[in-house]
Structure formats: C-alpha cells, structure tokens
Amino acid sequence: MSHELEQLRDAALSEIGGAGDEQTLEAARVRYLGRAGSISAWADRMKSLSKEEKPVVGKLLNEARTSVTAAIAEAADRLRAAKEARELADIDISLPGTAAELGSLHPLTQMLDRAISIFRRMGFALAEGPDVETEWHCFDALNTAPDHPARNEQDTFYLPDGRLLRTHTSTVQIRTMEKAPPPIRVIAPGAAYRRDEVDATHSAQFHQIEGLYVDEKVSIGDLKGTLEFFLHELFGAETQVRFRPHYFPFTEPSFEIDVKSKALKGGEKWLEMCGCGMVHPAVFEQVNSARGDTAYDPKKWSGFAFGLGMDRLAMILFGIPDLRYFAANDLRFLRQFA
Ligand code: PHE
C-alpha cells in the first residue's frame, strides 16, 4: 500500500490539474503547501518519527513538495494562457492596424547635422548668440563703418529700442570672443534677417553657419584647407572649389567661395557658397575694448572666419529649386526627405 504522503500528493496533483480558475488553484496551494497545509504539516511530524522512518518519509516529503510546486506553476501558466486566449477571442486580427505616423527631420536640419559632424571632426565646437542683437555686435564690433549700406533702414530690421534682427551670424564671432580668450574654434549655425524681396533665392529670414578659428600663426592656408575639406566632404571629392577675392569690413583679405560639381543640381555653373577671410585686427581691438583686456593681441593671434549660406547648401545638396519650400510646411515636399 502506498504511503499516506503519496496519497496526499496524488490528491493534490489531481485537484491542481482540475483547477478551472485562479482562485481554485490558489485555494489548493494554500491547502497543500501553505504554512498549515497538509503536506507542510508532515514536516512537523518528522520529529516524532523513528530513525528508520525518517529518511523514507523525508524523501517522500521532498518529492511531494517538488511535484506539487511544479504542478501549481504549470497550472498557473495554463490558466493565464486560457485567459489571454479568451481576451483575444473578441479581437479581429485580420483588421488593418493603425499605422504609427513617423515624423522626419526637416531637410535644413539634416543638412545642418551633416555640416556639424564634419566640422566636429576638425575640432570645432558649437557656439550661439541671440537673433535680436545690438547694433554694436552686428556692425561696430565687426569694423563696419557707420555709413555702411548694410546698416540702412532699407536693409535691416530695427526694433524701436535701437536693437535689430542680426543680418548675419558674424555677431556670434564677437560674442564668443567676449566670453573666452583664444584659442577659439567654433561654428555657430543660426537664423539671419534682411529686408530682402522674397523670391526663389531670397527670403527675409535665412540661415547661416558662422565659423571662427583663432590661434597663433593661423594662415590663409588653414582657411582654405578647412573649407575645401568641408565642401569636399559635403558635396563629394570631385567638387571644384574656387576662392574669389572679395570685401568684408571684418576680414582682410576676404574671399567668396564658389563650388562647381557635375554631381550637383545646376552643376555646370559656379555656385556662390560662402564669405570668408582672415579676421581683421580692428575686430580683435574692438573685442579687447569690450573685454577690457588685451587677450586678443593682434600681434600674437590671428584667425579666419567664414559664413556659409545654409539654405543654399541644402538647396544644392538636395536639388531644391526654391527657397520658399523650406518654410511652406507642405508635407508633399517634406516627405521627400523622410
Ligand atoms: N557675414 C558675411 C555675410 O553674411 C559672411 C562672412 C562671415 C564673411 C565671416 C567673412 C567672414 O555675408
């Protein structure tokens, strides 16, 4: 005849196997394995058993506990699966689902991300400054004469308090040098504003990436190498780059950079990309006077600066024919860059 414990185990297994819901299963668990459960109770009874009986019953007790515990886990899984199946029974999985709408980055942002990653590899950090600026940061500090046409009311948006919307990101050159002594190696992407007649290539608000590099013995070779490397990385190694002498009040000498590449839209023409030059000593002097020191001694430090037309870069990179698309918020346009 089988031992009482074995009978108890068999009763437990069949009760657990037959449990039709979680409450019944839990009641069976408490009854057999709970602290005062009938299987557990055998542990207390062990003490009063004879030496011969102890190992036999101990073994049976362990077996009973293990198999009942396993059966409870198995039954819990079975009940959970059944419950899920009941819940899913009402759902028609053949119905089309609701697609998650995924957004994408604006083409200007994509272009900027690429540009930033190229300059970052050359050790440039990001700098920034406000869109609403003082006349001093936008013009005087940049060695721009009081009668310079860029300052004209017809060209620049002035606020009633005398401040203005910056006409270029070169203001960030000044703000960066005011804050920190040389060496400096920054780029500053941002918006700029001019009273331009809006057409396919002009807008009252546009975007630039300013660059400033100040160190000892910086030369035009550094300027040229940096910008050529950047343009080749962005547009491809076959891109031709041309430096044309130009005039800016805040750089001397100054250049405009054009690119030409068969790989680009409108690739047979030279396309104007960027203004640049060697930082004018007068700019360093203005910064020194604002700082109240001589940190930017033009005899010790030299530098180059550049201002890339960001919208221009993106138009060329993606073959976009009209600047106005960038701000029109038309999904048919934006989705092409997803
Ligand atoms: N700020 C100039 C512009 O907007 C570009 C420029 C930047 C030129 C830095 C030289 C150096 O046209």
Q: Whose CA is nearest to atom 12 of ligand 1?
A: 275
Domain presence at residue 65: yes
The single-letter DSSP state of residue 199 is: B
- The distance from CA 65 to its chain's CA centroid, rounded to whole angstroms, is 55
Please report the pLDDT score of residue 106 as a whole number: 95
Mapping DSSP to helix (H, G, I), strand (E, B) and coil, where does residue 164 land? strand
Alpha carbon of 333 to ligand 1 centroid (Å):
30
Residue 293 and residue 164 share a domain: yes
**Closest by alpha carbon to 251, among 307, 293, 208?**
307
Q: Which of 57, 89, 121 is the last residue of a domain?
A: 89
* In the chain, % of residues over pLDDT 90: 67
Is 32 within the bounds of a domain?
A: yes
- Only one residue has tokens 């004209």, namely 152
Using CA atoms, how far residue 298 sits from 217, 258, 280, 282, in Å, is 11, 29, 9, 8
Same structural domain, 263 and 290 = yes
Q: What is the pLDDT of residue 257?
A: 96
Atom of ligand 1 nearest to the CA of 211: 9
Burial of 187 (0-12, 13-18, 19+ CB in 10 A): buried
What is the tens place of the pLDDT at every residue in 262-277? 777 766 789 889 999 9
Residue 272's CB is within 10 A of a number of other CB atoms, namely 15
> Could you read off the pLDDT of 114-143 as tens digits, one per residue?
999 999 999 999 999 999 999 999 999 999
Q: Ligand 1 atom closest to Cα of 307?
A: 7
Going by pLDDT thresholds of 50, 70 and 90, the confidence category of residue 92 is confident
Number of domains in the chain: 2
> Are 122 and 205 in the same domain?
yes
Kindly report which listed range (33-42, 136-145, 195-204) carries the lowest average pLDDT score: 33-42
- Give me the pLDDT at residue 46, please: 81
Does residue 322 belong to any structural domain of this protein? yes
Q: Are residues 80 and 115 in the same domain?
A: no
Question: Looking at residue 2, what is its pLDDT?
Answer: 61
Q: According to the model, what pLDDT value does residue 261 have?
A: 84
Of the three residues 89, 117, 140, the one that is the final residue of a domain is 89
Please identify, by atom number, the ligand 1 atom nearest to the C-alpha of residue 274: 5
Statement: residue 1 has pLDDT above 50: no
Same domain for 120 and 15: no
Residue 280 Cα to ligand 1 middle (Å) = 12
Tell me: do 246 and 318 sit in the same domain.
yes
Alpha-carbon separation of residue 210 from 25, 190, 230, 274 (angstroms): 72, 8, 13, 10
Nearest to 5 by CA among 73, 54, 50: 54
- 46 plus 151 within the same structural domain: no
Distance separating the N- and C-terminal Cα atoms of the chain: 77
- 99 part of a folded domain: no
Query: Averaged over 308-336, what is the pLDDT?
Result: 92
Q: Tokens representing 233?
A: 């990385």
Task: Report which ligand 1 atom has the smallest distance to the Cα of 304.
Answer: 11
Inside any domain, residue 77: yes
Domain boundary among 89, 122, 144: 89
Answer yes or no: do 67 and 186 share one domain.
no
Question: 123 and 190 share a domain?
Answer: yes
Does a structural domain hold residue 170?
yes
Ligand 1: does its nearest atom lie under 6 Å from the Cβ of 248? yes
The CATH number assigned to the domain holding 246 equals 3.30.930.10
Asked if residue 282 and residue 209 are part of one domain, the reply reads: yes
The pTM for the full model equals: 0.73
Domain, as residue range, for 200: 107-337
Q: Are residues 152 and 294 in the same domain?
A: yes
Q: How much of the chain, in percent, has pLDDT values that exceed 70?
A: 99
Are 209 and 312 in contact, with CB atoms under 8 Å apart? no
The pLDDT assigned to 34 comes to 87
Taking residues 232-256, what's their average pLDDT?
Answer: 95
For residue 94, tell me if it sits in a domain.
no
Number of H helices, E strands in the chain: 12, 9
**For residue 101, is it within any domain?**
no
Residue to probe by mutation, ligand 1, list 139, 143, 156, 170, most atoms within 8 Å of CB = 170
Q: Whose CA is nearest to atom 4 of ligand 1?
A: 168
Three-state secondary structure of 206-231 = EEEEEEEEEECCCCHHHHHHHHHHHH
Of 26-30, 41-45, 167-171, 199-203, the one with minimum mean pLDDT is 41-45
Closest-CA residue, ligand 1 atom 10, reads 276
Indicate the average pLDDT of the chain: 92
Residues 75 and 114 in one domain: no
Regarding the beta carbon of 13 and ligand 1, being less than 6 Å apart is answered no
